[in-house]
Structure 1
Amino acid sequence: MKKILGLLLPVILIGVLAGCSTAKNEEANVDSQSVGIAITGDAHADALDATSYDSEMAIYSAVYEPLITYGEKGDYQPGLAESWDISEDGKTYTFNLQEGVKFSDGSYFDAEAVKFTIERAKKMNPTTTLQTLVHLDKVEVVDSTTVTLHFKKVSNQVLAELCATRPLRIMSPNAVEDGQVGGAFQKAIGTGPFTVGTSTEEEVTMVPNPYYNHENPLTYQVIFKTITDGSSRALALRSGEVDIAGGTLGQIMDSDLQSLADSDDFATYQFTGTMSHFLAFNPDNTTLTSDIRKGIELAIDKESLSDHDIEGLFQSSVQYVTDANQTTVSYDVDEAKKTFEAAGYQMNDNGFYEKDGQDLAFDLVIQTAEFPEWKEQAEVIENNLKQAGVNITINTLDSESYYDVLWTSKDFDMILYRTYTDALLPYNFLNSLFYNTGDSHGVLADDERLSTLLDTYAAAANEAEQQSIFDDIFKELSDETLAIPIDYKDENFVTTSKIKDFVFSGLSDAPIDYQQLVVK
């Protein structure tokens, strides 16, 4: 299965306007065109608290803005904060805020709003692993445009975490009951381009924030439409039901992408991404030892799964990744078989390896709502491993059941998953899924050396030391085959002729630069 994305040009010229609808937006007092955007799940706009994880990822950035914006490989840029200073010991961060910015209710953004948001995020997320919240000692309001975060220990991920789509984008205290840190959420009030209009399970309409960009609001509204199937998202583009689809908003099948790219009615965009897709293992499965995992990796033909040259778990666009610290594992079925045999397995009459009467057999859990290509990739992996004497059963789940299996029931042997993106790579991703706590092993690994290395990195304030530690982390991931990368994902989007220009924000989980989006 050669992926067709390599055939797509980074930018294909946009066609002419096919038509547009207008609606009077009384709140912003402008005539707004409607732009339909495909997403994979119910938006849950009624729960769009900036400090929560309760709504669809894609809609947070339409309402809330960050203090810091993501720059390539950790080159962070100003957001609501114009500048910042970090103490030499890595324990104190002072942010100088923009002046004259207003929330969508007309109240002013200031240091008190920053303090409220961060304290609320800490209160509402007691089990978080984010350094900004776990290590927080206090938030000090110096004056209306200056706020200082004091931490109990070195915190080298603060800028990265402030970039993320949630839970640290800034919200107004007026969004909750009585403006209290622990108050019940009432209404999404941010400084971003939109406010929530009407919403159902199928779609949510967001109208321009009249106070956005110093009271220079956008002239279009957006309608996020829930479409859970990749092929259906392509059909929605063709019918004009949506005008933008792709990326982490809602991926489209590769074959559909090529077909849409061939049409003059659509524009196709490709941007460098940071996400990887990988095969992960259940650390509770004692059969899946390091040697067996290594044999499985040797048996998988990665060239048939991706147009990219697959090396380590993370793409070269990820911070700390260099040519020198990545390891390539080449496809070698014979070597895979030798690995299994060295572990005491013998081929049986059914063509599978067995030991002590048990086949070398595993279930592979996937979902296709967010990642439709996983069906075909899982079938390739199943066939590859069959040739190497490993019996794989593919279990395709709906999105909700898939995440329940991953995070709660742990009812899987192997699972296809994706890395986080951008500023949350590589540390926060690994800390979230591969780190052993005092109570239990990681979600996807039980590796004490890796956990120790992650602890060492978290306490390192010096950039050279941080790089050296991650060189060791990448080596441990490869040596122990803790995850098998199968694809590096670009950011691919398709727009209808209603969109004159589409600009990638640079942040995978909030990909649309609404201010630069040009609607005809």
Structure 2
Amino acid sequence: MRGALQSDRRLRRGGVRGLVAIVAAALALAGCGVGGGSSEPGARTTIRVATMEPVGILDPWDFVGQFHAMDLVYEPLIAYGEGGALEPALAESWDVSGDGLTVTFALREGVRFHDGTDFDAAAAKFNLEQWVGKEKFAFLGGSRAISSIETPASHTLVLRLSAPYPPLLQELTIVRPVRFLSPAAAPGGSYREPVGTGPWKVVSSTDTSGSFVRNDDYWGPEPEIERVEMRVIPDSQTRLSALRAGEVDLIGGGYLSPINAVEAASIADDPSLDLVTGDPDTTMSLTFNRRGPLGERAVREAVSLATDVEAINDVLYGGKEYVARSYFPPSVPHSGTPTTRRYDPHEAERVLDRAGWTMKGSTRAKDGRPLRLELLLVSDPVHGMTDSRTTGQALQDALSTIGIEVELTVVDGATYFDQQAAGRFDLVFSTTYGAPYDPANSALSFLSSTADTPTWSSPALDALVDRSVSAGDPATRDSSYQAVYDLLERDVAFVPITHPPRYYAVRSEVDGFRVPPHEYRLDLTHVTLG
């Protein structure tokens, strides 16, 4: 789970006011995009979806295929519904034993893979064996918790657990590696071709496009449209122009083809387009590397006090309603009690004074060491961080007013994650995974010392995270997660910035599109085209 181009325009004092001017100019440019072209007359049978990256190799047990393309082709045992409701998919029902050590699934009968192979308990077991107990998938607690897989009947699947793991059912809703591939398409467990049970079958996949045709033998509601075409358009403004010109029908989503707040505002004013907005499901936070000055709580506290989160949200993210006041947004189960963020740059200066960081010219210093920090930023669009560079400029300006010098380092996505993993940064924006991974998977991936790249960890936090993910009843989970959040607040382990809204845009002739329950889905079964 889980090209440097740095703007030379820096915001000086009163940086958020300067930010308003930048965004206003960008909004004017967005409104001058290509005019709305009309689609061909009469009902069409193909929907064209813009995506920022290629479909890739749709191996459900690897990490290279695009999530949304996988979701069209492969299905889970359990579906993640609105508000986190667990709904039947390839499993019609399930039962968890009283001790939490046995989960029994009644599999749906009459389901076939695209190649005609029956989906049954043997096929399900074959798929589960590709990731259960494998080190590659240790980020999933279920991979470690499942001790055996049994098939007592043709459509009965039984999972035995070494210890109770309450998040297991929710983990089984994610896209990879828990979706199901035809055993005939992976002889001996070696992936050969993308053959699932889903409503769409793969026709082709190249570096520039992906094509999918309706599965006319689908067990569920048959889609109205016959074909899905994915067109790779990496640039955000080019995607928006293509939508206005009628060259594509749908853009949006955190991982599909992100829309920022500036673009969303221009879409809302375009009569040829419909903007569809969903509740936030992630949090973008400023996180700290405890090397150097940020090992001091006082420095972290000063950074937090000097960050005007409300102003940043008002300008960049469309309004103060998106201000993050907790580690997870309210839509995530067990997200805890929101906290009141405090903005007080004068108190930030006093905190640094008391800690011995005194002004030397325009930058503070202590024991001959200047208070300089590096903020690592990503140039590529990343879910929940589409405006991170502009946010970074605002932060750079704000911290300069209290004597902290911040260097902005902008790198491409691959370099960004490599440097983050290696700890080569002081400050970084990070985002939680979102549904259906949260809260358990973000907690295990970012707040546990056993994770590959924890954003914060300690023995006390490890104990609290372990207690949270293993808690059997909802009340205990609530209190355990709250203890996690309280500890993070006491440590000033992060500065929550925003719960970014989820934007999608379609042409006005697209009917029936709904914001999916999570950002890794692309449900087109209810869509029609005028």
Shared fold (TM-score greater than 0.5)?
Answer: yes
Conservation of the 8 A alpha-carbon contact between 2:223 and 2:526? no
- For 2:241, the equivalent position in structure 1 comes to 235
Conservation of the 8 A alpha-carbon contact between 1:231 and 1:252? no
Select which of 405, 416, 425 maps to 1:412.
425
Select which of 330, 333, 339 maps to 2:345.
333
- For 2:259, the equivalent position in structure 1 comes to 252
Deviations 1:210-229 (A, max 9, x none): 32235945533222222323
Q: What amino acid maps onto 2:259 in structure 1?
A: I
Give 3-state SS (helix, strand or coil) of 2:129's partner.
helix
Q: What amino acid maps onto 2:446 in structure 1?
A: L
CA positional deviation for 1:326 = 2.6
What value does the CA root-mean-square deviation take over the aligned residues?
A: 2.5
> Structure 2 unaligned runs (5+)?
1-18, 28-35, 314-318
Give 3-state SS (helix, strand or coil) of 1:458's partner.
helix
- For 1:18, the equivalent position in structure 2 comes to 38
Conservation of the 8 A alpha-carbon contact between 2:134 and 2:143? no
CA positional deviation for 1:33 = 2.8
Conservation of the 8 A alpha-carbon contact between 1:103 and 1:189? yes
In structure 2, what is the Cα distance between the partners aligned to 1:419 and 1:208? 33
- For 1:342, the equivalent position in structure 2 comes to 354
Which aligned pairs between 1:23-38 and structure 2 lie closer than 5 A? 33-38=45-50
Q: Which moved more, 1:104-113 or 1:226-235?
A: 226-235
Q: What amino acid maps onto 2:39 in structure 1?
A: G
Aligned residues: 490
Conservation of the 8 A alpha-carbon contact between 1:18 and 1:498? no
1:134–1:32: structure 2 CA closer, same or farther, 3 Å change rule? farther
1:212–1:352: structure 2 CA closer, same or farther, 3 Å change rule? same
Give 3-state SS (helix, strand or coil) of 2:299's partner.
helix
In structure 2, what is the Cα distance between the partners aligned to 1:367 and 1:463? 37
Q: Which moved more, 1:278-287 or 1:369-378?
A: 278-287
CA positional deviation for 1:20 = 4.4
Conservation of the 8 A alpha-carbon contact between 1:364 and 1:394? yes
CA positional deviation for 1:297 = 1.0
In structure 2, what is the Cα distance between the partners aligned to 1:99 and 1:441? 40
Q: What amino acid maps onto 1:246 in structure 2?
A: G
Which aligned pairs between 1:347-386 and structure 2 lie closer than 5 A? 347-349=359-361, 351-370=362-381, 371-386=385-400
1:414–1:276: structure 2 CA closer, same or farther, 3 Å change rule? same
Give 3-state SS (helix, strand or coil) of 1:389's partner.
coil
1:508–1:294: structure 2 CA closer, same or farther, 3 Å change rule? same
In structure 2, what is the Cα distance between the partners aligned to 1:237 and 1:359? 49
Q: What amino acid maps onto 2:482 in structure 1?
A: D
The reply to whether residue 265 of structure 1 matches residue 262 of structure 2 is no
Deviations 1:126-159 (A, max 9, x none): 3522121111101111212211111111111111
Select which of 473, 498, 504 maps to 1:487.
498
1:214–1:309: structure 2 CA closer, same or farther, 3 Å change rule? closer
In structure 2, what is the Cα distance between the partners aligned to 1:71 and 1:124? 28
- For 2:33, the equivalent position in structure 1 comes to none
CA positional deviation for 1:174 = 1.7
Conservation of the 8 A alpha-carbon contact between 1:86 and 1:94? yes
Give 3-state SS (helix, strand or coil) of 2:39's partner.
coil
1:199–1:126: structure 2 CA closer, same or farther, 3 Å change rule? closer
Select which of 402, 411, 424 maps to 2:437.
424
CA positional deviation for 1:416 = 1.4
- For 1:128, the equivalent position in structure 2 comes to 138
1:401–1:342: structure 2 CA closer, same or farther, 3 Å change rule? same
The reply to whether residue 448 of structure 1 matches residue 459 of structure 2 is yes
- For 2:327, the equivalent position in structure 1 comes to 313
Q: What amino acid maps onto 1:426 in structure 2?
A: P
Conservation of the 8 A alpha-carbon contact between 1:118 and 1:133? no
Conservation of the 8 A alpha-carbon contact between 1:385 and 1:392? yes
Give 3-state SS (helix, strand or coil) of 2:265's partner.
helix
Select which of 267, 290, 298 maps to 2:297.
290
Conservation of the 8 A alpha-carbon contact between 1:20 and 1:33? no
Conservation of the 8 A alpha-carbon contact between 1:17 and 1:498? no
Select which of 384, 396, 402 maps to 1:388.
402
In structure 1, what is the Cα distance between the partners aligned to 2:475 and 2:67? 33
Conservation of the 8 A alpha-carbon contact between 1:421 and 1:509? no
Deviations 1:177-222 (A, max 9, x none): 2xx3xx2210111111212212221221122223223594553322
Deviations 1:267-291 (A, max 9, x none): 1111112111111222444634333
The reply to whether residue 69 of structure 1 matches residue 76 of structure 2 is no
1:330–1:213: structure 2 CA closer, same or farther, 3 Å change rule? same
Q: What amino acid maps onto 1:281 in structure 2?
A: F
In structure 1, what is the Cα distance between the partners aligned to 2:141 and 2:403? 44
1:389–1:466: structure 2 CA closer, same or farther, 3 Å change rule? same
Q: What amino acid maps onto 1:293 in structure 2?
A: R
Q: What amino acid maps onto 1:223 in structure 2?
A: E
Deviations 1:301-327 (A, max 9, x none): 0012222243112111111124xx332
Conservation of the 8 A alpha-carbon contact between 1:361 and 1:391? yes
